[in-house]
Amino acid sequence: MKLDEIKISKAIIETYNKKLIDALDVDVAIVGGGPAGMVCGYYLARAGKKVALFERKLSVGGGMWGGGIMFNEIVVQEKARAILDELGVKTRLYEKGYYMADSIEAVSTICSKTVKAGVKIFNLLSAEDVMIRKNRICGLVLNWTAVEMAKLHVDPITMAAKFVVDATGHAAEVAHIVERKSGISLKTKTGKVMGEQSMWADVAEETIVKNSKEVAPGLYTCGMCANAVFGGPRMGPIFGGMLLSGRKVAGDLVKRL
């Protein structure tokens, strides 16, 4: 059988269109495909929820690929190791309480499990705004990253979600948009994004899970974003908190959906 380039093009366009149209109305829209966003999506999909995840970059994985200073190894603590075990990521004991994982294995395996659980991941799409009705976040405004990068004057599209998860890492982009544009007071001490504090792994790993919660009606913080929004410290290349945060947000949302 001869291969037909036009058929290949048509196959891609039609199939992607269907996938994107189906993602225009979901239970949960996750912004950011770092470890926290992917793990959150994984547990939601496992619970039968319809989830779309939008990632700005070509590849998911966020800050996990590079381990610490580009040494592609990550550390996880005892509490979080069960999540890597469940996902099938190998861990090695370094010293009591400190486990190592290869960051390439970790990202690729988490991504694979997330997709196979049913999360539809859309790379190269950025959330540039939210949709708000009756003082509640109920969707996202999306545009191609290429449009954003080239600063082209092209209007976005909109999708609806029962809940939105801000898993954009240090930048806390969705929370910043809500603070700037909505007039909604965030559920932080100041009503605004408080900003992250300097490195303190021990405290950060505890607070990140506590801070992974609803920050405005319909909007949850997840992963590093949670500490950036609620004013907790950063933690560097220990990733247990990201995994635990993703699982916690998914659990909370499953109860509400």
What's the CA gap between 221 and 215, in Å, rounded? 6
CB within 8 Å of 185: residues ≥ 6 apart: 191
Is position 218 an interface residue for ligand 48F (rule: CB under 6 A)? Answer: no
Examine residue 37 and tell whether it contacts ligand 48F (CB under 6 A): yes
x/- letters, 139..178, toward ligand 48F (CB under 6 A): ----------------------------xxxxx-x-----
Query: Which of 4/78 has CB closer to ligand 48F?
Result: 78
Task: Please give the size of the binding site for ligand 48F, defined by CB under 6 A.
Answer: 32
The alpha-helical segments, DSSP class H, found in the chain are 5-22, 35-46, 78-87, 103-117, 145-150, 173-181, 201-210, 224-230, 240-256
Listed in sequence order, the residues at least 6 apart from 16 whose beta carbon sits closer than 8 Å to its beta carbon are none
Q: Does 236 bind ligand 48F (CB under 6 A)?
A: yes
CB nearer to ligand 48F: give 6 or 31. Answer: 31
The closest alpha carbon to 54, from 118, 110, 128, belongs to 128
What are residue 44's phi and psi, to 5 degrees? Answer: -65, -45
**Nearer to ligand 48F among residue 10 and residue 181 (C-beta):** 181
Based on the shown chain and the rule CB under 6 A, indicate whether residue 114 belongs to the binding site for ligand 48F: no
User: Chain centroid to CA 3: how far?
Assistant: 38
Site membership for ligand 48F, residue 239 (CB under 6 A): yes
Stretch that binds ligand 48F, among 1-9, 22-30, 51-59, 131-139 (CB under 6 A): 51-59
Cβ(45)–Cβ(117) below 8 Å:
yes
Question: Toward ligand 48F, which CB reaches closer, 167 or 249?
Answer: 167
- Of the candidates 249, 27, 56, the one whose C-alpha atom is nearest the C-alpha of residue 139 is 27
Q: Does 67 bind ligand 48F (CB under 6 A)?
A: no
From the list 23, 28, 34, 119, which residue makes contact with ligand 48F (rule: CB under 6 A)? 34
Q: Report which of 157, 250, 232 is spatially closest to residue 194, judged by C-alpha positions.
A: 232
Q: Which residue of 28, 30, 32, 51 would you call a contact of ligand 48F, by CB under 6 A?
A: 32
**Gap between the Cα atoms of 252 and 257, Å rounded:** 9
Q: Which residue has the tokens 């950036």?
A: 228
Nearer to ligand 48F (CB atom), residue 47 or residue 201: 201
**Applying CB under 6 A, which residues contact ligand 48F?**
31-37, 54-57, 62-64, 126-127, 167-171, 173, 223-225, 234-239, 242
